[in-house]
Chains A and B, each alone.
Chain A
């Protein structure tokens, strides 16, 4: 733990925060942290209050639960009503509101829904319950997908026939392009995700610095990592540079983790995907290849399109893109609370509204 303590040093943090102020001068700078884990760390350590007022942080689309389209959760709930189905999921999905219910409520009503801590645990449930169909809700970014892919390969190798994945896995760089190419919000620089970048490396962000002149820094999750990443971005901006830099050098290499990358594309292929609030982004999703369709829950249980019921005043979509902050939403704290959420950003442990509600 001593190793981590160095990245939580009060002296270093205060010093970097002061350097950020000096370097920015009075210039207004808007940065976006893309990843939900960064968002939570920023709020949890009170980092916003340490920055000068002219350096603003916006939260981006990097919470996998939050960007999952509404219809996905409705389909998961529909599956949970089937008699011979066990739904396995990471905890974050349990409270996400669908049109009429949530997985947590389905569980209270008798649905067999189990929170697992890893995809391997979901496979174990399948082995222990050979007569049931065990569906894992695959919701994640490049960080989570290699483990999902490797578990599908393991299921194939071990001839496990009752394990399925319902994939809503997504890729981060296309979403960043959707934000920076739009005209709704101006971003001076990105704090790029830490764990996603440990898998994909720094090269996939290159187009942001070249085509859109947007500086990028891949930052770690500890408070001094985040503050140093902000400093590096402010330095690039004030020096009129736009490059992709790696602050989180202890985990991220330029080329990333090649083995993990190849496992992803052994099992998945790129596909257009719908992002909650943003819409369809080309080649931003990962669907299970035909070769592995026997593990694809959507192949096993084809769904009919059903319209999604949602509260029109919920602005989660705008919040995910940094266009609005949670306190600009009419529902925030009044109608939408962690106990009675309207949108997923309020319930996911990495959601911007949840962070805002809990820590401010």
Chain B
């Protein structure tokens, strides 16, 4: 059955989102920078290498355990910049506000933006506000764009993974998705899980300053670890092997996933990243990540073993093997 209109799944970061890009955006807007499809666009300007990115935040609820839409809007864009190897510098911030939204909540969110910007060492240097009629938006949407400075000696891209690379994951997966889902109306269980929402530029700076052989950096947001590993495998034309035993998942996240029939590999994160590092530099890279705030639980979870059309294979915890596919559509809880 063909999709004739946009459905929610088109925004989920999985196959439908990629279809939308391939069929509707790229054919009209394609150029040598956009076609790289990395987290940030990288371009040369007067002999300086710059990274530029944009993202919109529509999370519901806007306040959730461990963060809010403001913190998310800063960290998300900062992380998109540093996943290209850039040092984030400046952000713009656009607000679309539904009429009736409270001043108190708006101020809380603006303060949260300020705190996150300070922590990430970036400045908000441009902004815009639009107010729309009741039900034309849901409370508050935020768009942030960001610009960063790139070192010339590094080429970090989803297409740079090579056979032999070790895959490093910076910590526990699934915290953000489960924290938000458990807050959402209608889910009748509570967890103590907090969103992992955090800026990652400090960790990335420390890795790059050491001059280590890191080829790919990417943050597994929508679509989770499964989506980013598949993207990288396809962009680099390699098969990525990962070990289920090595992937850090909190017991509470695992429990919530089991209740809902979800797989933590597909749950969103907002403060984690994967790094593909040359085998001789993998241990050192892991050590640096672990020594930084937000990277204490990092693990080497797998490696790139061969050239292919792009596949991700999981060694299961009991010694079996299976494919990890790109997510498709929205995550929907099961019947029984």
Contacts and interface: CB of A to CB of B under 8 A. Distances in A.
Nearest to A2: B251
A34 B329 CA distance: 26
B16 A339 contact: yes
Interface residues of B, number: 39
Given A45-B318, A109-B5, A359-B323, A95 B329 contact: yes
Contact of B1 (A1, A65, A121, A342): A342
Interface in B281-336: 314, 316-323, 325, 328-329, 332-336
Interface residues of A, number: 58
B127 interface: no
Contact of A46 (B2, B6, B255, B316): B316
- The B interface, classified by DSSP as helix, strand, loop or mixed, is loop
A60 interface: no
B124 interface: no
Interface in B1-57: 1-9, 15-16, 19
Contacts of A350: 334-335
B187 interface: yes
B211 interface: no
A357 B325 contact: yes
Nearest to B325: A358
Contacts of B320: 13, 45-50, 223
A118 B259 CA distance: 11
A186 interface: no
Interface string A124-162: 000000000000000111011000000000000000000
Interface string A35-65: 0010000011111111000000000000011
Contacts of B325: 357-359
Interface string B240-264: 0000010000010011000011010
Given A108-B8, A340-B3, A10 B317 contact: yes
Interface in A76-99: 90-92, 94-95, 97
Given A1-B254, A44-B316, A350-B335, A358 B188 contact: no
Q: Which 8 A-B pairs have the closest CB atoms?
A: A46-B320, A91-B332, A13-B318, A338-B328, A97-B1, A46-B322, A349-B334, A359-B322
Interface of A: 1, 8-10, 13-14, 17, 37, 43-50, 64-65, 90-92, 94-95, 97, 101-102, 104-105, 107-109, 114-118, 120-121, 139-141, 143-144, 195, 223-224, 337-342, 349-350, 357-360
8 contacts: A1-B255, A10-B318, A64-B335, A108-B8, A139-B335, A144-B336, A195-B336, A360-B323
